[in-house]
Amino acid sequence: MAFVVCYLLAFAFFNYAEAQQLQSNISRGSALTPTTNSSWLSRSGMYAFGFYKQGNGFAVGIVVAAVPQKTVVWTADRDGGLVSDNATLFFTSDGIALQSTKGRSLVVQSPMPISSASMLDSGNFVLYNASREIVWQSFQYPTDTLLPTQPLLAGKEVRSAKSETDHSSGIFRLAMQVDGNLVQYPVDTPPVSQYAYYASLPYLAGSNVSLNFGVDGRLYLLNDTGENLMNITNGGLPIRGKSHLVRIDADGILRLYSYDLKQKGNWSIIWESSTNRCDPKGICGVNSYCVTMGAAIDCKCLPGFESVNPGNQTSGCERNSSVGDVCRSKNWNCNYTMQELGSTAWYDEPYVVLPSSGKEDCKQACLEDLNCLAAVFNGSRCRKQRLPLRYGRREEDTSHVIFLKEVVMSSAAPAPDAVVPKGSRKNGRIVFLIVGVSFTALGSILLVISVIVLWKHNVWAYKRMNELNGDAERNEDVVPRPYAYEELEKMTTNFNEEVGRGASGTVYKGVIENSQKLVAVKRLEKVAAEGDKEFQTEMRIIGRTHHRNLVRLLGYCLDGPKKLLVYEYMSNGSLADILFTPERKPYWEERMGIARNIARGFLYLHEECDTQIIHCDIKPQNILMDEYMCPKISDFGLAKLLQPEQTRTTTGIRGTKGYVAPEWHRKMPITVKADVYSFGIVLLEILCCRRNVDWSLPHDEAILDELVYHYFESGELRKLVGDENIDRKQLEKVVKVGLLCIQDEPSLRPSMKKVLLMLEGIVEIPVPPSPNSFLNTI
């Protein structure tokens, strides 16, 4: 039997070798087909470029020709699909072209005309121009494998294959980050530590660090000046008769392999980034946790959940019954219980972390919070989570406990203002399975009613409801959500529709494909060189703010230096557009409504949200109008992230000229009162529908705040509003509030809360002194 196997292997190898051209100098006119001349060998026959077999088709790439397994080390256009055996590969002056039933495409595209190519003995496939200069090389575009002498340069990454036999893109990546760290993450996650499952260095090591792979199997990091920062593997492996490669495997682990060319056999593992196969985050799908079983792993569903696609670990699990979700979305009266699961650790992002509390308190806190579907207690902290849960694994010796909210029993009678707080209402049809109701008279009546409801709608929509609620859950899921740069490119069709431009960046219109929801994508320019972590923290703070007068941040993208934000789209432009366009000018009452709403937004930012947020750049351009002409404040929370000069005008001052509080000039500490000042200026602009500074007017009218105080003193306020018929008292009220807000001395300005009460006419408004009287007296 063994003989037969050997014979077959040898025969296969022989056949394969015959189908190759021993040609390391490939020139124009050369062609390959999967069946006859299938590849170009390197001089020693170690590597081959050309067709290799995958499943029932063929792909184009580089294989280790000298090993019987024909190990694939590189693939051209790895996600381009397979071709059948009548495809042809041509060497053209533009690169390597593939002709197949799908048409003709360049699988290797050269940046300039080429005249020859070579499969080198290092495993590097290179293209030369007429002066024999290398103009393209496969070593610069690694897929999942690195070969000795092949570096992974700063900013580049390799991505795992889908499986051992399918070389298209999988779900893990190894990134040589520009911060000098070599890190492994699941794909489609931002490069921040919470998603990382392997990192080379705990510190930053400069901006141009590369991963290098010595011929003796040593993996090491070099910095810009060629200094060895650290050895990841020791190297010192025998070179003669051996072949080495390092690969991020389909299971997410980076491994260094060695192959004995004389003994044949299998590749042996010399080193791996992790010995626990549950380490790679995302190896198990959502709502499941990873359990090691010897050398293999298993993904187990959370209690009450079942696998979406048994046999596919990454497909995850979903709740078997959506009764709980129905209670939630229909605002029905349901009782909940918490199911407990110990010995598992969860690394997903919570939406709230409660400070130290006991296990029981944690359970109770989640039970009382409608948004909380699970709580993880780690021995000291309580993390409230939404679903789905990710990155779970069994850890026998952990003190982590997870609680999952479940419905015990429900009554079919809707309770409009039940103990359960209002959840998101859905318009799905109601079909309800009554669980555990005994057949008392009442129970029977309820059952009859339910049956009638079922009959009327004529839909047994149990499954459908499940889906509906699944959607609702996903929509509620972690906002703001991280986006990949490519996703945003697609959403905005390559950033082709610019809808605004400001100091912090340019805004583009986009659309979320599956919901057709419009979004505004802001590309931040010159974000301060603070760490990604800080950026993330800020995003989370912004993401936690919810108020009807704030523009909602839906997501963000962190892709090296590229930082983008995704906001809900505001269809009516900015307050500046409507105030300063005579045809769009709103009536007095509408304007006052707008002013009060803006004040409400700032009151929330200053006093009501978790973390106090000072806006620092309030102006009509930053206040957007939704479809109902309700104002929403945008760009809050960005002040901390931008480089100082970005928000400074030519006068070297943060914020926008004309709206800036005087304390900026005096280098005094900045408080929420700086925002109150800017709000005061905006209020005067809303009042008069003109810009605060307008040099096209006569000199003594150019500065609005000075003009307003002048007319206030002289009792000629009516001059401010032209022929608009406005109640004198109303006008005076708003002018007084505006003048109080723009006092030079911050402590003389009212708080935003006071401002709102004054605008609503609830409290008396004192007579404002001259805005700069305080300065004049000292």
Residues that bind ligand NAG (CB under 6 A): 21, 25, 27, 30, 36-37, 84, 86, 101, 116, 129-131, 133, 135, 206, 208, 210, 220, 222-225, 227-228, 230-231, 235, 265-266, 306, 309, 312, 314-315, 320, 335, 353, 378-381, 399, 408-409
- 3-class state of residue 484 by DSSP: coil
Residues 186, 282 contacting (CB under 8 angstroms): yes
Picking from 488, 626, 651, 475, the residue whose alpha carbon sits closest to that of residue 563 is: 488
Picking from 99, 94, 112, the residue whose alpha carbon sits closest to that of residue 60 is: 99
Measured distance CA(237)–CA(242) in Å, rounded: 9
> Among 251, 617, 705, 744, which one carries the catalytic annotation?
617
Measured distance CA(59)–CA(45) in Å, rounded: 20
Residues 343, 394 contacting (CB under 8 angstroms): yes
Known binding-site residue numbers for ATP: 522
For CA atoms 280, 282, 283, 286, the dihedral sign is positive
Measured distance CA(644)–CA(336) in Å, rounded: 50
Please give the full DSSP string across 432-453, using - where no structure is assigned.
Answer: -PPPS---SHHHHHHHHHHHHH
Picking from 747, 728, 637, 615, the residue whose alpha carbon sits closest to that of residue 682 is: 615
For 375-389, the three-class secondary structure string (H helix, E strand, C coil) is EEECCCCEEEECCCC
Measured distance CA(235)–CA(148) in Å, rounded: 11
In what side-by-side order are the strands of the sheet with 31-32? 31-32, 88-92, 95-100, 103-109
In sequence order, the 6+-apart residues with CB closer than 8 A to the CB of 155 are: 176, 177, 178, 560
Residues 595, 631 contacting (CB under 8 angstroms): no
Measured distance CA(217)–CA(343) in Å, rounded: 38
What is the rounded radius of gyration, in angstroms, for the C-alpha atoms of the chain?
33
Residues 101, 82 contacting (CB under 8 angstroms): no
In sequence order, the 6+-apart residues with CB closer than 8 A to the CB of 693 are: 657, 658, 702, 703, 704
Picking from 63, 55, 101, 57, the residue whose alpha carbon sits closest to that of residue 82 is: 57
DSSP-assigned beta bridge partners for residue 332 = 414
Measured distance CA(181)–CA(154) in Å, rounded: 9
Residues 457, 429 contacting (CB under 8 angstroms): yes
In sequence order, the 6+-apart residues with CB closer than 8 A to the CB of 628 are: none
Measured distance CA(254)–CA(586) in Å, rounded: 62
Tokens of 437: 């109701």
- 3-class state of residue 134 by DSSP: strand
Known binding-site residue numbers: 522
Is residue 700 annotated as a catalytic residue, yes or no? no
Give least dist CB 168 to ligand NAG, A.
10
Which helix or strand (DSSP H or E) is residue 145 part of?
strand 145-146
Measured distance CA(382)–CA(365) in Å, rounded: 9
Q: Which residue has the tokens 């960046």?
A: 505
Give least dist CB 335 to ligand NAG, A.
4
For ligand NAG, the closer of residues 269 and 408 by Cβ is: 408
Measured distance CA(55)–CA(84) in Å, rounded: 11
For ligand NAG, the closer of residues 84 and 339 by Cβ is: 84
Measured distance CA(648)–CA(616) in Å, rounded: 11
For ligand NAG, the closer of residues 481 and 596 by Cβ is: 481
Measured distance CA(211)–CA(209) in Å, rounded: 7
Measured distance CA(406)–CA(553) in Å, rounded: 30
For 46-81, the three-class secondary structure string (H helix, E strand, C coil) is CEEEEEEEECCEEEEEEEECCCCCCCEEEECCCCCC
For CA atoms 500, 504, 506, 509, the dihedral sign is negative
Give least dist CB 129 to ligand NAG, A.
4
Known catalytic residues are 617
